[in-house]
Amino acid sequence: MKTIQVNEIIEAVEKLCIEANYDLGADVMLSLKQALTTETSPLGREVFERLIENATIAHEERVPMCQDTGMTVVFVEVGQDLHIEGGSLTEALNEGVRRGYEKGYLRKSVVKDPFDRVNTGDNTPAIIHYDLVPGDELHITVAPKGAGSENMGALKMCKPSDGLEGAMQFVMDTVDKAGGNPCPPIIVGVGVGGTMEKSTYLAKKALLRNVGVHNKEARLARIEEKLLEQINKLGIGSQGFGGMNTALAVNLEVYPTHIAMLPVAVNINCHSARHKEITLKGRDE
C-alpha cells in the first residue's frame, strides 16, 4: 500500500490553479501562431497578434491571462491501491483551490446559492470528477472554466434516426448560435453517447485534450477534422469579427449508449483553454 499526504495534494492543486490561469498551453500558442498565418481578415490577424501578446504578458509578469479565472473544474484519477492520509481528499482539493485563488490573485467567481448569489469568497467549491483507476498514483487535472464559454454549451437528446449527420448538425448549430460570445477562436468539446449526464461529462473531458491531438480512433478523428473544417467555414472568426479561424480544434469523445438514445453534448472552450495536470506518486509507508 502506497500513501500520499493531503498536504502534498493541497500544494499541487494550488500550483496548478495558478499555472492554468497564467500560462497558456504551448499547444494553443502554436495554434494561434498558425492561425495568424492563414487568417485573411485584417481585424482577425490583429486579434491573434493581441492574444499572443496577452499570453506573453501573462506568462512573463505572472498575472492571469483573463479576468474570468473560472469555476475550478478538477478531474482526479485515484489509484485504487493508494491510501490518502491526513484528511479528506475532497477537502484537500478544495483547500488547494482556496489557496491558489488567494495567492495567485485570481478572481473569486463562485456564488454559494444559484438564487441568492452571494459569493463564497474563495472560489470553492470546485467541481470535482473522480475516476477510480488501477495503480497507486493520483493524477490531478485542474481546468478552470470561464462563464463566457461555458454558457454557450448545449445538450440535445437526438433521436437514433438523426444519426451522425444530425449529431454534427447540432454541433454546428450550437457553435453558430454562440457566435462571438465564447471568445473565439474556440476549442469545441463534443460528447456523444452514454446518458444525458455522461455525454456532457465527455464533452467537458474532451477539452482536456491538447489542440492538434485527435481521437485515437481514425473514424472519430475524421469526424473531428470534418467538423473543424465546417465550423471554420461559418465565417464567425476570432472574437466573432469575421474570419477564417473560428475554432482551433474539435475534440470528440464517444461512449456506448441505449438502443433508443443519441445524446449529443457540446462544451465550448475559449482560446485560453486552461488545463494543467500532475501525477503524484504514492510513497511506501
Partner 1 sequence: MTEVIRLETPLTHEKVAQLKAGDNVLISGVIYTGRDAAHKKMIEALASGEKLPFDMKDQIIYFVGPTPPKPGQVIGSAGPTTSYRMDAYSPKLIAEGLTGMIGKGLRSPEVIEVMEKYGAVYFGAIGGAGALIAKRIVSAEVIAYPELGPEAVRRLVVKDFPVIVLIDHLGNNLYDIGKAQFERA
Binding residues for partner 1, rule: CB under 8 A, are 40-43, 46-47, 50-51, 53-55, 57-58, 61-69, 105-109, 117, 119, 147-148, 151, 179-181, 183, 233-237, 239-244, 270-272
| Edge-to-edge strands, sheet with 247-257 | 154-158, 262-269, 186-194, 247-257
| β-bridge mates for residue 83, sequence order | 3
Q: Which is nearer to partner 1, 99 or 198 (CB)?
A: 99
Q: Which is nearer to partner 1, 35 or 280 (CB)?
A: 35
Whole-Å CA distances, 90 to 68, 125, 156, 200: 24, 10, 31, 22
Q: Which of 204, 182, 178 is nearest to 191 (CA)?
A: 204
As measured in angstroms, the least distance from the Cβ of 9 to partner 1 is: 25
As measured in angstroms, the least distance from the Cβ of 118 to partner 1 is: 10
Q: Which is nearer to partner 1, 121 or 160 (CB)?
A: 121
As measured in angstroms, the least distance from the Cβ of 194 to partner 1 is: 29
Q: Which of 10, 201, 187 is nearest to 88 (CA)?
A: 10
Buried b (16+ CB within 10 A) or exposed e, 25-41: bebbbebbeebbeebeb
H or E stretch covering 189: strand 186-194
Q: Which is nearer to partner 1, 57 or 127 (CB)?
A: 57
Q: Which is nearer to partner 1, 73 or 138 (CB)?
A: 73
